[in-house]
């Protein structure tokens, strides 16, 4: 099983140093937050995108995808029905899908809870978001990628807080390029069942296209009370084929230490699942 690091964990250094550190720790790739690449990542040139991709490749890594999609440029909302905002978001999502393709990524993760509030007209807001997501999914599919809605627990979001709610949206969208993902911290806080049971129920549906790992305390995997071995065993049992991302939100004592501790914990879990070595 390969692991990818969400690069904002190392945002205090430039992309080349992020890659050097991640590779030295044993990560196979970076899942990039677009705002770390440019103040307005939707306006990056082809040359800038190619240069970023080359930096990652030169360190033996791959860009596995994008997340934190609507942080920059500021002021976006996927649920706002205002025509001018809808046009801005349509253009931004198209540019971000193209950015992911240009970087060689496979998946875009749409979390961004502050940019998807339902507001005073929740049904209209849902319809607007669904239109945006279906279009983004279609564009991603055309480029050989997948666009994932991230269920975010109700302590942080009021829209798509569970996999079941997300699955209902997928049914309405009927777009194969639009799928779901599991963030373990949000799932632990919001789904009401053990992660292994969640995996056993949802992985066979084909709706889960990506996984991010963290603790329910928002720190890295292994930095809290949650034990991820049963969940990783379920992924293995399902022959999960893709890199799994590490996405802590709280860095104690700092980002680099958190990233190193996280992959160390995960490697230890995998070795434990392998059983004792022969000899």
Is 201 a domain residue?
yes
Q: Is residue 164 part of a domain?
A: yes
Omega before 76 cis (within 30°)? no
Report CA-CA distances (Å) from 143 to 29, 130, 171, 224.
Answer: 20, 20, 22, 38
Identify whether 98 is part of a domain: yes
Q: In whole angstroms, how far apart are CA 278 and each of 57, 120, 226, 266, 274?
A: 36, 62, 29, 21, 11
**Total-model pTM:** 0.96
3-state secondary structure of 140: helix
Q: Is residue 279 part of a domain?
A: no
In a domain, 175, yes or no: yes
User: At 91, which CATH number?
Assistant: 3.20.20.150
Would you state the structure tokens that stand for residue 159, as one six-digit string?
A: 């829209």
Structure confidence by residue, pLDDT tens digits, 64-117: 999 999 999 999 999 999 999 999 999 999 999 999 999 999 999 999 999 999
For residue 219, is it within any domain?
yes
Query: Which range marks the domain in which residue 105 is found?
Result: 3-274
Mean pLDDT of 32-53: 98
| Residue at 146 is within a domain | yes
**What integer best gives the mean pLDDT of the chain?**
97
Please write the tens of the pLDDT for every residue from 222-254. Answer: 999 999 999 999 999 999 999 999 999 999 999
Looking at the 3D structure of the chain, how many domains does it have? 1
Structural domain includes residue 87: yes
Coil, helix or strand at residue 12: coil
Q: Is the pLDDT of residue 277 over 60?
A: no
């Amino acid at each position: 099983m390969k692991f990818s690091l969400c690069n904002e964990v190392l945002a205090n250094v430039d992309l080349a140093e992020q890659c050097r550190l991640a590779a030295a720790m044993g990560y196979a790739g970076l899942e990039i937050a677009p705002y770390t690449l440019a103040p307005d990542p939707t306006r990056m040139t082809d040359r800038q995108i190619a240069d970023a991709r080359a930096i990652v490749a030169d360190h033996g890594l791959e860009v596995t995808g994008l997340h934190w999609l609507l942080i920059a440029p500021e002021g976006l909302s996927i649920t706002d029905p205002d025509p001018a905002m809808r046009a801005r978001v349509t253009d931004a999502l198209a540019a971000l899908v193209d950015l992911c393709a240009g970087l060689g990524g496979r998946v875009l993760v749409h979390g961004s809870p502050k940019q998807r509030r339902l507001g005073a007209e929740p049904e209209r807001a849902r319809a607007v978001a669904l239109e945006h997501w279906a279009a983004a999914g279609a564009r991603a599919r055309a480029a050989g990628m997948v666009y994932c809605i991230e269920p975010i627990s109700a302590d942080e979001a009021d829209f798509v807080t569970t996999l079941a709610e997300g699955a209902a949206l997928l049914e309405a969208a009927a777009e194969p390029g639009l799928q779901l993902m599991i963030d373990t911290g949000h799932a632990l806080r919001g789904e009401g069942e053990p992660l292994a049971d969640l995996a056993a129920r949802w992985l066979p549906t084909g709706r889960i296209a990506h996984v991010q790992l963290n603790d329910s305390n928002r720190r890295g995997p292994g930095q809290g009370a949650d034990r991820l071995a049963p969940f990783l065993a379920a992924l293995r049992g399902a022959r999960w084929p893709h890199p799994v991302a590490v996405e802590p939100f709280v860095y104690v004592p700092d980002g680099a230490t958190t990233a190193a501790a996280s992959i160390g914990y995960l490697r230890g879990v995998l070795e434990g699942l392998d059983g004792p070595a022969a000899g």
